[in-house]
Amino acid sequence: MTDNRGDGTVPVGLPAWLYAPACLGALFVVIPLVAIIARIDWPHFVPLVTSESARAALILSVKTSAASTALCVALGAPMALVLARGRFPGRSVLRALVLLPLVLPPVVGGIALLYTFGRQGLLGHQLELIGVRVAFSTTAVVLAQSFVSLPFLVVSLEGALRSAGAGYEHVAATLGAGPGTVLRTVTLPLVWPGLVSGAVLAFARSLGEFGATLTFAGSLQGVTRTLPLEIYLQRETDADAAVALSLLLIAVAAVIVVGSTARRRPGLS
Amino acid sequence: MSSVSARLRLRQRAVDLEVGVDDGEVLAVLGANGAGKSTLLQTIAGLVRPDDGRVAIGDQVVTDTRAGIFVPAHRRGTALLAQRAMLFPHLTVEANVAYAPRCRGLSRRAARERARHWLDAVGVGDLARRRPAQLSGGQAQRVALARALAAEPRVLLLDEPFAALDVTAAPALRRLLRDLVRAQGTTAAIVTHEVLDALALADTAVVIENGVVAERGPVRSMLTAPRSDFGARIAGVNLVAGTMSEPGRLRTAWGDHIAGLGDVDTGAAAVALFRPSAVAVHPEPPSGSPRNVFPVTIADVDLRGPLVRVRGGELPDGGTGLAADVTAAAAVDLALEPGRDVYFAVKAQEVALHGAPHRLPS
Amino acid sequence: MRRLLAVVAVAAALCSACSSARPPAGTLTVFAAASLKTPFTELAHRFEKAHSATTVTLNFAGSSDLVAQLDQGAPADVFASADTANMTKAVDARLVAGSPVDFATNTLTIVTRPGNPRGIRGFADLAAPGLQLVVCAPQVPCGAATARLEESTGVTLRPVSEESSVTDVLGKVTSGQGDAGLVYVTDAATAGDTVTAVPFPEARGAVNVYPIAVLEKAGDRSSAAAFVELVTGAEGRKVLSDAGFAQP
């Protein structure tokens, strides 16, 4: 009952002509990727992607994306739970605000972060006084990535929570489970797939984040120059390096996305 | 002590009820859909907070809006069993049943033992390792029952637990529930549409109509001798009131006579009860053995599964119109439709006569 | 039928976008490095006044971006680069007609927050520990100049950020993030009061030479040549020096 493929069901809501635009959409995404692969200078590919600056950029990208995904989960999961299950005035306003970073151009997000955490920013000023400097640091990169990725996690998880419904949670409560136990033993296990896909989305978005990082964190090898920033820089002088690094970024993202969809725990999908 | 007393009012659900269940008693809650029956159970369980009300389980006040008391659901000791089994899909059957014991702090091993005990008690011990998706409806409800009982609740709340089961699964589960509840002496409230559920399981019945209590009393007498027309309609029984003119014969308010079985003194107020399925519909006055023939103008025709319920117009004394159940084929053959004049015939053997000392006008 | 018409309409719209957009006759397209924005905008106005039949379209961007666009077939008549390296790339790609002409030079200057709170007096002060210094990355012309300065002065800079465009460097200083930055004198001039400029003598050791050339694909060679003459002539030199450029 968990996987219906191959059981003979006829897709009655799928008119044949849908396949044409669907194929077009697939090609629209795939062909640019093929175009990049076609441009690779294969003999030089390995040295280009293993250069010191490339390695530094890749490691920094993976580290910061992982850190920002963790931050997104730590902050975003409670937000999603509160938005899906909580009852308080202004809930719909909060939900709209959470989606704001999705709409903002990343550069604008970077500017906003600058005015918050920058040396003369709203919070940055106070932080300076106690000796904490955020600008030009790896922390700034993580903050920029978290800012743009948080909505992905919140939306994905909130959607999963709403469609799962609170029925099982009610049952658990009547069986004697307090709110914390209900969360741990019923709510989260049932929306685990939604949480994982939200985290993957957040990670992928963080990996590709550029505008906010450039504006807020700056660009210095090993500290703030993530892979997208390295590609942007290499474009100035070495187009081959830029293309090779682009393929590297695509490959890393693909591995993450495919790897996460492969493992699935039984639950509500 | 696990009696229940509940007084609740909820404006949004249009509910204003006062209901009580004695310790060890089983209460059947009857009423039309949307009348407020589920709200009652959810309020007792602590899943709904009334605008104004007070709920006490045993000596403990669990809800009191005036005093600002509200004990959360997980501390009330009530277990809720609904139409859908709602077994946790990510846990095995055994883990589902062991859930409540684990919440109470039992070790994994002790909880598993409790789970196996209850699974055996409901007859599905061999399904312990299965996942809920692999169970049939009847099996799932059994597991859900085991899960609820494993919580050792003070009060067991059942919301139409057999409504989604097929005709073969429901009777077996009904018997099982009856045996377990009686053996444990559990206080319980069961919401149901099914008369057989109420008769088999409950001691007392209460009818809720439009959010208020319409009638309450011992279940047997309420269903076989409902004192209000609404109770009669719920029970699906035909009721005609009158006085006994001679043993086995009741004289209606408008002078007709009904013959039936029952020990009621001559001259006493009485009601004649008979099932719609015992009534035959004739286009012409029938000859033959049926002693009771009523001319009826059809008021409405209602499809209920394979049967058609034909209801006649209001009785001359204001009572609910008589109902007859016929097959769909018969309804088509006889061209039964509102406005037609037909004759309802029922054998005296099918009519039960009961005394009605507290007959209330409907 | 309606669906077919819609498909045809969409196809037609897409096709019109595909065909290479040749600018209408009487247009002169100039690709110029971003730092030339102020002077070239002014010179374009003057050119249009002198040649009433011609409209000048300007495209400002990083020099390497411009070369990349030209390489991919973007139609343009004139190219002015912020350094010789990028012009050489254009020449090697056979995009240039004739030979490029050097028409201006730009040198670096230090900029700080208004009032120079850190008291920067010269290039050596930029290596002070704890200073939040922002520079261009070596891959861009201003960064190449910075690297040449480091070599010639022997001072090793430890910037907190190496930006891909000089505008970003300036931006980090004006927003208060960076204590000091290395930008072109022309940028410092445009920034006005938002920064304090600290000129330093060593800057003469790393000069970026700006060449200009008529492109092979130019629609009207004579019009393009006339524009180059305006830039390299007396009028052009005046406008450029007003903006802060020096002569080669």
DSSP B323-359: EEEEEHHHHHHTT--TT-EEEEEE-GGG-EEEE-TTP
Q: How far is C164 from chain A (nearest CA, A)?
A: 6
| ipTM given for this complex | 0.78
Residue B264 scores a pLDDT above 80: no
Q: How far is A266 from chain C (nearest CA, A)?
A: 44
* Chains A–C, number of C-beta pairs less than 8 Å apart: 58
A172–B80: do the CB atoms touch at under 8 Å?
A: no
In this prediction, residue C62 carries a pLDDT of 87
Which of A174, A177, A265 faces B45 most closely, judged by CB atoms?
A174
In this prediction, residue A119 carries a pLDDT of 83
Residue A266 scores a pLDDT above 60: no
Amino acid (one-letter) located at B362: S
pLDDT by residue (tens digit) across B294-330?
889 998 887 777 888 888 888 887 777 888 888 888 8
**From CA C132, how far away is CA C158, in angstroms rounded?**
9
Contacts of B88 in chain A (CB under 8 A): 168, 171-172, 186, 190
A266–B89: do the CB atoms touch at under 8 Å?
A: yes
pLDDT by residue (tens digit) across B120-132?
988 899 999 999 9
C177–A135: do the CB atoms touch at under 8 Å?
A: yes
User: DSSP class of residue A187?
Assistant: I
pLDDT by residue (tens digit) across B31-65?
877 778 888 999 999 999 999 999 999 889 999 99
Delimit the domains of chain B by residue range.
4-224, 238-355
- The encoded tokens of residue C171 equal 């931006």
Among A236, A240, A245, the residue to mutate for chain C (most C Cβ within 10 A)? A236
* Under 8 Å between Cβ of B132 and B84: no
Q: How far is A29 from chain C (nearest CA, A)?
A: 18
Over range B13-19, report the average pLDDT.
86
pLDDT by residue (tens digit) across B199-252?
778 888 888 877 888 888 887 667 655 555 556 666 667 778 888 998 889 999
Amino acid (one-letter) located at C184: Y
In this prediction, residue B355 carries a pLDDT of 64
pLDDT by residue (tens digit) across A167-220?
999 999 999 999 999 999 999 999 999 999 999 999 999 999 999 999 999 899
Contacts of A185 in chain B (CB under 8 A): 99
In this prediction, residue B196 carries a pLDDT of 66
Amino acid (one-letter) located at B249: R
Amino acid (one-letter) located at B292: N
The band of A269, judged by pLDDT with boundaries at 50, 70 and 90, is very low
Q: How far is B104 from chain A (nearest CA, A)?
A: 7
- The enclosing H or E element of B102 equals helix B93-103
What is the rounded (10 degree) CA torsion for A17, A20, A21, A24? Answer: 180
* Under 8 Å between Cβ of C217 and C94: no
- Closest-CA residue of A relative to B150 is A175
Over range A124-152, report the average pLDDT.
90
Contacts of A174 in chain B (CB under 8 A): 45-47, 73-74, 76, 78-80, 151
In this prediction, residue B362 carries a pLDDT of 34
Residue A8 scores a pLDDT above 90: no
* Under 8 Å between Cβ of A256 and A203: yes
Contacts of B75 in chain A (CB under 8 A): 176
| CATH architecture observed for domain B4-224 | 3-Layer(aba) Sandwich (3.40)
In this prediction, residue B120 carries a pLDDT of 92
pLDDT by residue (tens digit) across A29-87?
999 989 988 988 888 899 988 999 999 999 999 999 999 999 999 999 999 999 999 88
DSSP string, chain C: -HHHHHHHHHHHHHHHHHS--PPPTTEEEEEEEGGGHHHHHHHHHHHHHHSTT-EEEEEEE-HHHHHHHHHTT---SEEE-SSHHHHHHHHHTT-EEEEEEEEEEE-EEEEESTT-TT---SGGGGG-TT--EEEE-TTSHHHHHHHHHHHHH-PPP--SEEESSHHHHHHHHHTTS-SEEEEEHHHHHHHGGGSEEE--GGGGGS-EEEEEEEETT-S-HHHHHHHHHHHHSHHHHHHHHHHT-B--
pLDDT by residue (tens digit) across A213-250?
999 998 999 999 999 999 999 988 888 899 999 999 98
B99–A172: do the CB atoms touch at under 8 Å?
A: yes
CATH of domain B238-355: 2.40.50.100
Main-chain dihedrals φ then ψ at residue B207, nearest 5 degrees: -105, 130
Q: How far is A82 from chain B (nearest CA, A)?
A: 18
**From CA B44, how far away is CA B57, in angstroms rounded?**
8
Domains in chain A and their CATH numbers? 45-262 (1.10.3720.10)
- The encoded tokens of residue B245 equal 């003119």
Helix residue ranges per DSSP H, chain A:
19-39, 42-49, 52-85, 91-98, 100-103, 106-117, 124-129, 138-164, 167-174, 179-182, 188-190, 192-208, 211-217, 227-237, 239-262
Main-chain dihedrals φ then ψ at residue B270, nearest 5 degrees: -150, 165
How many beta carbons lie within 10 A of that of residue A107, not counting itself? Answer: 15
**From CA A112, how far away is CA A41, in angstroms rounded?**
39
In this prediction, residue A127 carries a pLDDT of 86
**From CA A136, how far away is CA A141, in angstroms rounded?**
8
In this prediction, residue A21 carries a pLDDT of 95
**From CA C173, how far away is CA C180, in angstroms rounded?**
6
In this prediction, residue C226 carries a pLDDT of 92
* C194–chain A Cβ distance below 8 A for any pair: no
In this prediction, residue A264 carries a pLDDT of 53
Domains in chain C and their CATH numbers? 26-105+209-243 (3.40.190.10), 108-205 (3.40.190.10)
In this prediction, residue A167 carries a pLDDT of 92
A170–B72: do the CB atoms touch at under 8 Å?
A: no
Among A163, A169, A170, A174, the residue to mutate for chain B (most B Cβ within 10 A)? A174
Residue B352 scores a pLDDT above 70: yes
* C164–chain A Cβ distance below 8 A for any pair: yes
* A173–chain B Cβ distance below 8 A for any pair: yes
**From CA A64, how far away is CA A208, in angstroms rounded?**
11
DSSP string, B60-101: EEEEETTTTEE--GGGS-EEEE-SS----TTS-HHHHHHHHH
Contacts of A267 in chain B (CB under 8 A): 89-90
* β-strand pairing of C27-33 with C55-61: parallel
3-state SS assignment for residue B301: strand
* Under 8 Å between Cβ of A61 and A223: no
* A174–chain B Cβ distance below 8 A for any pair: yes
What part of C 56-75 touches A (C-beta under 8 Å)? 62, 64-65, 68
Contacts of B81 in chain A (CB under 8 A): none
Query: Under 8 Å CB-to-CB from A178, ≥6 apart: which residues?
Result: B72, B74, B103
Residue B360 scores a pLDDT above 60: no
Q: Which ranges of chain C have pLDDT less than 50?
A: 18-20
A177–B103: do the CB atoms touch at under 8 Å?
A: yes
